[in-house]
């Protein structure tokens, strides 16, 4: 091993010495001949030796130099391209965030337009609890100076967010439905099923951490998955008709007389950036048909169905009365026909009343039949001999 290393070192030293000698010889050789204006007329020995060296001994070194230059150019181009890609990614992310924010602002402006009065707009600053990292409170950029009071409802375009806990002159703190102290009286879309909304006790993380529970629903009420839940207006904190969420499934509990349902909220606290704070006057007078369109639509549907049932009943009554009047008319016509065949005068028919019942009047005295004996004789004349019976004494 040592002998081979020494031999390689000697070969390298000899090659270096040879290169140095050849370089000095090439420098000493005369160069190319040039004219007065600097143009080359013919190559000299120096150029010939330099060209031969580049093609033989120096060729690998020249190749390495060119390869390193290409790699350096490719590395620089890759860095520039990566910078461009990173810049585009940041712009795309910022653009997406701006689009989400613009959508929320448009929805909130539409909500404010429908409400018309009785609200204070505010920007939401998020804060989390140190235990589970859930968003339970929001710091709002509006306070008592703008009309914000304690227990004022906080809403977004999609539905209920929370309520005000503390109100300073310029800032306020709102608790969300994820706070353990949150409660809200709720009802189903039909307006006949009521309960109380609580934060979901079993928090498993992720989106399920923001689930709610609808407790105290009577056992006779069976809410289907997807049914929308609204605030009922009971309790005086929230007006009637604000969307809370939708039913996911029924939860098994130890309660016998009531049911408990799992509710998915309509608003995600982590995505709330702008809200509206309702004033106490708006809570007292209600919000009208803003979120509770389903409730009003169901009520209108029930009224229409009730009106349709009433009309159907009236039509059935009128049809029955008409049928009864027709039967009464046929009955009277039959009686008159029989009386005519017996030689007796027909009954006088009074006009039918609104119920289709005809009133029979006695015939006038001139039309009354004669004594019983004459009437019997008249009937005997009109009847066949085999059906004639002897008159009573």
Last residue of a domain, one of 100, 131, 157: 100
Tens digit of each residue's pLDDT (9 = 90 or more) over 234-288? 888 898 889 999 999 998 888 888 899 999 999 888 888 889 999 888 888 877 7
45-55 and 59-115 helices, crossing angle to 10°: 60
**Looking at residue 36, what is its pLDDT?**
58
**Looking at residue 362, what is its pLDDT?**
42
**Looking at residue 360, what is its pLDDT?**
45
Query: Distances from the Cα of 213 to the Cαs of 76, 189, 265, 267, in angstroms?
Result: 58, 16, 10, 15
Last residue of a domain, one of 226, 256, 291: 291
Asked whether residue 35 is assigned to any structural domain, the reply reads no
Query: Distances from the Cα of 339 to the Cαs of 32, 170, 188, 336, 346, in angstroms?
Result: 156, 100, 68, 5, 6
- Which bin fits 118, alpha (ψ -120 to 50), beta or left (φ > 0)? left
**Do 155 and 187 fall into the same domain?**
yes
Query: Distances from the Cα of 294 to the Cαs of 225, 232, 290, in angstroms?
Result: 16, 13, 10
Asked whether residue 84 is assigned to any structural domain, the reply reads yes
Tens digit of each residue's pLDDT (9 = 90 or more) over 195-217? 999 988 765 444 466 889 999 99
Residue 320 has pLDDT above 90, yes or no: no
The two beta strands, 194-199 and 184-188, are antiparallel
Tens digit of each residue's pLDDT (9 = 90 or more) over 340-350? 777 776 665 44
Averaged pLDDT of the chain: 75
**Do 196 and 287 fall into the same domain?**
yes
pTM over 0.75: no
Asked whether residue 17 is assigned to any structural domain, the reply reads no
- Number of independent structural domains in the chain: 3
Higher pLDDT, 226 or 359: 226
Range from 26-35, 157-166, 220-229, 319-328 carrying the lowest mean pLDDT: 26-35
Give the list of residues 6+ apart from residue 391 with CB closer than 8 angstroms, or none: 373, 376, 377, 380
Could you tell me where the DSSP H helices lie in the chain?
2-28, 45-55, 59-115, 280-285, 293-341, 372-382
* Cα first-last separation, the chain: 169
Asked whether residue 256 is assigned to any structural domain, the reply reads yes
SS3 356: coil
- Give the mean model confidence (pLDDT) for residues 308-336: 77
Tokens, residue 144? 């008592």
Range from 32-36, 74-78, 290-294, 365-369 carrying the lowest mean pLDDT: 365-369
**213 within 8 A of 203, measured Cβ to Cβ:** no
* pLDDT band with cut points at 50, 70 and 90 for residue 30: low
**Looking at residue 174, what is its pLDDT?**
92
**Looking at residue 228, what is its pLDDT?**
92
**Do 227 and 188 fall into the same domain?**
yes
**Do 258 and 129 fall into the same domain?**
yes
Asked whether residue 267 is assigned to any structural domain, the reply reads yes
Query: Distances from the Cα of 227 to the Cαs of 59, 191, 305, 322, in angstroms?
Result: 81, 12, 21, 46
Residue the block writes with tokens 């795309």: 92
Asked whether residue 20 is assigned to any structural domain, the reply reads no
**Looking at residue 229, what is its pLDDT?**
92
Tens digit of each residue's pLDDT (9 = 90 or more) over 53-93? 777 767 777 778 888 888 888 888 888 888 888 888 888 87
Residue 380 has pLDDT above 70, yes or no: no
Q: Which range of residues forms the domain containing residue 96?
A: 52-100
Tell me the percentage of the chain whose pLDDT exceeds 90: 15
**Looking at residue 308, what is its pLDDT?**
58
**Do 245 and 130 fall into the same domain?**
yes
Last residue of a domain, one of 291, 315, 341: 291
**Do 207 and 232 fall into the same domain?**
yes
Asked whether residue 111 is assigned to any structural domain, the reply reads no
- Give the mean model confidence (pLDDT) for residues 313-340: 79
Residue 154 has pLDDT above 90, yes or no: yes
């Amino acid at each position: 091993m040592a002998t081979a290393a020494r031999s390689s070192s000697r070969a390298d030293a000899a090659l270096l010495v040879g290169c140095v000698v050849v370089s000095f010889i090439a420098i000493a050789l005369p160069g190319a001949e040039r004219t007065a204006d600097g143009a080359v007329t013919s190559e000299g020995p120096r150029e010939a030796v330099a060209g031969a060296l580049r093609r033989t001994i120096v060729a690998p070194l020249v190749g390495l130099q060119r390869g390193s230059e290409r790699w350096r150019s490719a590395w620089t181009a890759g860095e520039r391209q990566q910078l461009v890609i990173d810049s585009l990614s940041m712009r795309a992310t910022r653009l997406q965030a701006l689009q989400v924010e613009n959508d929320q602002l448009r929805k909130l402006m539409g909500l404010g337009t429908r409400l018309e009065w009785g609200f204070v707009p505010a920007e939401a600053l998020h804060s989390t609890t140190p235990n589970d990292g859930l968003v339970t409170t929001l710091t709002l950029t509006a306070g008592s100076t703008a009309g914000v009071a304690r227990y004022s409802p906080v809403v977004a375009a999609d539905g209920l967010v929370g309520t005000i806990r503390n109100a300073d002159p310029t800032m306020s703190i709102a608790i969300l439905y994820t706070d353990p102290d949150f409660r809200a009286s709720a009802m189903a879309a039909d307006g006949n099923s009521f309960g109380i909304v609580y934060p979901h006790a079993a928090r498993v993380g992720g989106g399920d951490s923001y689930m709610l529970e609808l407790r105290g629903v009577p056992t006779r009420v069976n809410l289907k998955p997807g049914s929308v839940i609204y605030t009922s207006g009971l309790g005086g904190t929230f007006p009637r008709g604000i969307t809370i969420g939708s039913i996911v499934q029924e939860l098994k509990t130890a309660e016998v007389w009531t049911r408990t349902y799992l509710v998915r909220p309509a608003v995600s606290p982590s995505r709330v950036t702008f809200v509206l704070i309702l004033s106490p006057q708006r809570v007292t007078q209600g919000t009208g048909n803003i979120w509770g369109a389903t409730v009003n639509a169901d009520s209108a549907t029930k009224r229409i169905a009730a009106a349709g049932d009433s009309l159907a009943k009236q039509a059935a009554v009128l049809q029955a009365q008409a049928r009864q009047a027709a039967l009464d008319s046929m009955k009277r016509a039959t009686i008159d026909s029989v009386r005519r065949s017996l030689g007796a005068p027909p009954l006088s028919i009074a006009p039918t009343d609104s119920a289709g019942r005809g009133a029979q009047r006695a015939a006038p005295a001139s039309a009354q039949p004669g004594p019983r004996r004459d009437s019997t004789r008249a009937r005997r004349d009109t009847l066949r001999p085999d059906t004639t019976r002897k008159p009573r004494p």
